[in-house]
Every structure is written in C-alpha cells, then in structure tokens.
C-alpha cells in the first residue's frame, strides 16, 4: 500500500466490461489507521440495518450502532454491479500512488472480491480490524498461496509486536484460526444482506470467494500452508554460534 504526505491513501479501480461499459471507483483510506473514508451523505437502505441478518456474535450489538458499517460502505459498489453476473469477463486496473496493477480477462466476481475485501476490512467492523495490517501491503490478484503466506506472516508479526509491548504472544496461530472463524460468520451474513440488494450474483460470489479463503486459512495452519514449508529448509539447519 502506498503512503503519501496527504491525509489519505487512494486506490483507483477501473472496470472495463465486454459491452464497452467502464466503471471507476476510488477507495480512500486514512493514512494513519487505513480507515475507509465514508461519505457524509451516504444512504442507508434497510439491508444495511445492523439487525438485518446480523452476524452471530456481532461485536457492535447493543452499542448503539444502528447500521452495519461494512454494509453501508459497500453499498455503492453493490448497487453499481447489482445486475452483473459472476462470470462476466472484464479487464481490471488498480492504480495507487506508486504503481498500477492490471489484469485482462478476469471474472467479474474476482475483480469485485478485491475491492469489496478492501472496503470490508477497513470499515470499522471490530472482527475485521485484525486484517487491517494486510491492507497496508494489499496485493491485487494474489493467488491462494500468496494470500495464506501474507496472512500468516501478518499474524506472526503481530505477535512479535505484542511481545515487544510486553503482551503475551501467540506463536501457535490459535488466534488466527479464531479470527478467520469469525470472518467466515461475517461473510455468510453479508451474502444474506446482499441477496436483498442485488439482482444477479456478481457481488454475492465475490464475497463467497473471500469466504473460501477464510475457510482455507485454518486448514492451512493445521496442514502445509500451500506446500510452502519446504522453502524454509535453510531455517531448519543448526545455526553456528557467532
């Protein structure tokens, strides 16, 4: 994620559809906490009400919050693509201050999963906040192996940070498993919300893609994390005393 001297970080998404339509969205995040910058006049349809298919164990329940911050912030994206089909083929580019990512002939659901994932994590949901450090190194079009590597690396760096601050670290990744179990619950509820806001399945399946990853991370903790452990053989050798 690029940083600049301003108070905001920008990611500009440009969707080019096969029917010659072109839709652009700019995601603005605060430069300090990478918090999504919500427009003050954002509408709040019924499906954004906190109690509408509220997530099991929602940490905002009984806090006075009336609307799900994630639902409020993704609604513009959802509305723009409410009639698009998951497997429509598009060209997508993502421009930041330091580089531009682009990919041709990608499915609509894959493109939407990128922008929806960014907005969901940065919207202020307490359960999703744990993934906010990954936004700082956002990698569009990442493979499953790359995403698992980044997720585990982020969590272990978080534990190193806890240890430096006198807190008990979790080197077993038990907490990471719990985080993604909560995220799985959130994704399931979000799909139910979006069913009330869409005509076709592009946005729905974009969240399903995110949820598939949420299910894979706990499995990878117990397994081989994509087979990448073989790459760490230099760290398994005895290190001579210096």
One digit per residue, the tens of pLDDT, for the chain of length 242 reads: 444 445 789 999 999 998 888 999 999 999 999 999 987 677 789 999 999 999 999 999 999 999 999 999 999 999 889 888 999 999 999 999 889 999 999 999 999 999 999 999 999 999 999 999 999 888 888 888 888 889 999 999 999 999 999 999 999 999 999 999 999 999 999 999 999 888 888 898 899 988 888 888 888 887 766 667 788 888 888 765 64
Burial category of 93 from C-beta neighbours within 10 Å (exposed 0-12, middle 13-18, buried 19 and up): middle
Structure tokens at 127: 């359960």
Burial category of 57 from C-beta neighbours within 10 Å (exposed 0-12, middle 13-18, buried 19 and up): exposed
First to last CA, the chain: 37
Q: What is the pLDDT of residue 41?
A: 72
Q: What is the CA radius of gyration of the chain?
A: 19
What is the domain partition of the chain in residue ranges?
8-228
Q: Which tens digits make up the pLDDT trace of 101-131?
A: 999 999 999 999 999 999 999 999 999 999 9
pTM metric for this prediction: 0.88
The 10 Å Cβ neighbour count of residue 128 is: 20
CA dihedral 13, 183, 205, 75 (to 10 degrees): -50
Q: What is the pLDDT of residue 224?
A: 64
């Amino acid at each position: 994620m690029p940083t600049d001297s301003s108070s905001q970080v920008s990611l500009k998404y440009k969707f080019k559809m096969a029917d010659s339509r072109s839709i652009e969205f700019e995601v603005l995040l605060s430069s300090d906490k990478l918090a999504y910058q919500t427009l003050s006049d954002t509408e709040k349809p019924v499906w954004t009400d906190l109690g509408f298919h509220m997530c099991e164990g929602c940490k905002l329940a009984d806090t006075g919050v009336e609307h799900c911050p994630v639902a409020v912030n993704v609604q513009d994206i959802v509305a723009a693509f409410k009639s698009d089909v998951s497997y429509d083929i598009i060209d997508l580019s993502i421009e930041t201050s330091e580089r531009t990512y682009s990919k041709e002939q990608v499915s609509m659901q894959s493109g939407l999963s990128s922008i929806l994932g960014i907005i969901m994590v940065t919207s202020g949901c307490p359960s999703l906040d744990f993934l906010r450090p990954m936004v700082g190194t956002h990698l569009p079009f990442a493979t499953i192996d790359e995403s698992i590597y980044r997720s585990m690396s982020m969590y272990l760096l978080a534990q190193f940070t806890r240890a430096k601050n006198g807190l008990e670290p979790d080197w077993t990744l038990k907490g990471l498993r719990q985080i993604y179990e909560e995220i799985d619950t959130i994704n399931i509820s979000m799909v139910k919300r979006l069913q009330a806001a869409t005509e076709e399945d592009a946005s729905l399946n974009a969240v399903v893609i995110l949820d598939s990853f949420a299910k894979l991370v706990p499995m990878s903790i117990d397994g081989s994390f994509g087979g990448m452990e073989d790459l760490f053989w230099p760290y398994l050798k005895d290190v001579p005393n210096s």
